[in-house]
Chain A
Amino acid sequence: MTLGTPRGRRRVAKIVLFVVCLAPAAWILYIALTGQLAAEPIKDLEHRTGDWAIRFILLTLAVTPIRRLTGWNEVIRYRRMLGLFAFFYVTVHFLTYLVLDQFFAWHYIMEDVAKRPYITVGFASFLMLIPLAVTSTRGWIRRLGGKRWNRLHTLIYVAAAGGVLHYLWLVKADERVPIAYGTILVALLVARLTHRRTHQRTARRVASARLPVQDEPAVGGVE
């Protein structure tokens, strides 16, 4: 691996990013092992992992707008890793609930999923992310084709909205943090829709000029 080549630099950047993405998990683990969690350690773990799950989902969604805004095209290469880390934190969050909080008390878990809207929507969002994680590989992008893959992966917006609602419906009175997450999510969605509209207009103009239309090369795994 040489730093001299762009390929080598990207490798190093990916390793650095990987470590950075793992840092919150390492921090949470450190807090837990040194007995610094709150008096309700399991709830504290749920809150911390849930917080990072939403942050990583938003970060993943921010990649494309950042790319368009700054023209820093290379950033797209790191989106898959961010997305998979989002899935990682969501999964740890879910497992904390399943194993530590409920200790596999299926009866109570089913009741939660069926009766508590915040858990229903959180659980649905978790399920939604599974196919996205599975199809994150280059092989799956090829198999599905860029267009279909892109359409499938817009599900992350639904999951993100679900995650924000999950948080919003959970809090008792202080809704400032979930509202902040929701605002960021809406801003990212608006950025994307605005872009799509102008993009489509350009595309129509280009099409009327009978030139080939370039489809959006937004697939994170394509190098």
Chain B
Amino acid sequence: MLIRRKPDIPTSEITDESVYWNRRTFIRVAAGAVGSAALAGGGASLLADTHRRDDDKLTPYKDVTGYNNFYEFGTSKDDPKQYAGALQTRPWSVAVEGEVAHPGVYDIEKLLKLFPLEEHVYRHRCVEAWSMVIPWLGFPFGKFIDRLEPTSRARYVAFETLYRPSEMPGQRTDVLAWPYVEGLRLDEARNPLTLLTFGLYGRMLPNQNGAPIRMVIPWKYGFKGIKSIVRIRFVDSQPPTTWNLYAPNEYGFYANVNPHVDHPRWSQARERRIGEFFKRPTLMFNGYGDQVAQLYTGMDLRKNF
């Protein structure tokens, strides 16, 4: 293979770097200021949890919603915006299955009201070496997990996207194996950064961004953030994931943003922030090492890429 082998980076070093780079600030935003009116069931108070660096300027709404990888609607970046309008996102329910005390079918309206929605401004790093800064709306997935009470056998969470070729033209082609599936280790899923997401820019998710419910895991490459979720299953072993099935040597299960482990076909050392001319260096764990590096203590991130 063409992956350059370098000596492993000790986790301590990763943490040091992320300590240097990270700021964690909480800003209280008055109810309604971010447009809770647009969101049915927007909670009493919106918590703006930003993990922004000084130079993290929000990516314009037009680009966040017009430049998407959502192969269910086509493989071009502008396909999702063009074709996702046909997707019916109501009624919508999410089946929760597997190793939990409270499995069941959760209606989207009920999910939206489970916890107050918070605004989280995250850097979004695509495996294709471009990035954005996006204000998401949602709540930490961990809160929902606690409510579901996983059994002691639950070690992973598996997710599944809607399969509806009649409204998702990309599913009428075989570029990927449908439906799209993703997964997280349970502790990753419980990390406070992991966001069960319903909106962006203070509004409901546009269809092309994964309406009505998606995952956002900001320290991982974008493809881990599964969209238009219909099934969440708690399981005891590592679940299959779509891109890993497609090309196991290119896309790992973990897919943590890592500038030291190149994709076999392109460098991950730098990225182009949408709207910027010069590439910028990619940060370990996308700059969230502070919050997540401990999840991977003792793991060889070169093997578990």
Residues of A within 8 A of B (CB): 38-40, 42-43, 100, 103, 108, 111-112, 115-118, 169-170, 172-174
Contacts and interface: CB of A to CB of B under 8 A. Distances in A.
A52 to B, nearest CB: 17
Given A103-B278, A173-B246, A174-B175, A39 B63 contact: yes
Given A39-B66, A40-B130, A115-B4, A173 B71 contact: yes
Q: SS class of chain B's interface: helix, strand, loop or mixed?
A: loop
Contact of A117 (B77, B265, B269, B277): B265
Nearest to B59: A39
Interface of B: 2, 4, 63, 66-67, 71, 75, 77-78, 128, 130, 173, 175-176, 246, 262, 265-267, 269-270, 272, 274-275, 277-278
Question: Which of B4, B130, B266 is most buried by chain A, counting CB atoms within 10 A of its CB?
Answer: B266
A58 B246 CA distance: 30
Nearest to A102: B279
B267 A117 contact: no
B78 A38 contact: yes
A-B pairs, top 10 by smallest CB distance, nearest first, are A39-B67, A174-B75, A39-B63, A173-B175, A174-B175, A39-B274, A40-B130, A116-B265, A115-B2, A38-B77
Nearest to A111: B267
Contacts of A116: 2, 265-267
Nearest to B78: A38
B184 to A, nearest CB: 22
Contacts of A174: 71, 75, 173, 175
9 contacts: A38-B77, A39-B77, A39-B274, A108-B267, A115-B267, A116-B265, A173-B246, A174-B75, A174-B175
A40 B267 contact: no
Nearest to A42: B272
A100 B265 CA distance: 20
Contacts of A118: 265
Nearest to A108: B267
Contacts of A39: 63, 66-67, 77, 130, 274-275
A39 B275 CA distance: 7
A108 B272 CA distance: 14
A97 to B, nearest CB: 12
Nearest to A103: B278
Contacts of B272: 40, 42-43
Contacts of B2: 115-117
A148 B78 CA distance: 48
Nearest to A40: B130
Contacts of A100: 277
A108, A116, A117, A173: residue with the most chain B Cβ atoms closer than 10 Å = A173
A174 B176 CA distance: 9
Contacts of B275: 39
Nearest to B126: A40
Contacts of B269: 108
Contacts of B266: 116
A16 B265 CA distance: 41
Given A115-B2, A172-B128, A174-B75, A40 B274 contact: yes
Contacts of A172: 75, 128
Nearest to A173: B175
Contacts of B274: 39-40
Contacts of B267: 108, 111-112, 115-116
A170 B129 CA distance: 13
Contacts of B4: 115
Contacts of A40: 67, 77, 130, 272, 274
A172 B242 CA distance: 13
A174 B79 CA distance: 13
A100 B176 CA distance: 32
B77 to A, nearest CB: 6
Given A173-B75, A173-B176, A108 B265 contact: no
A103 B173 CA distance: 37
A42 B275 CA distance: 10
Contact of B67 (A38, A108, A112, A170): A38
A123 B60 CA distance: 35
A173 B170 CA distance: 12
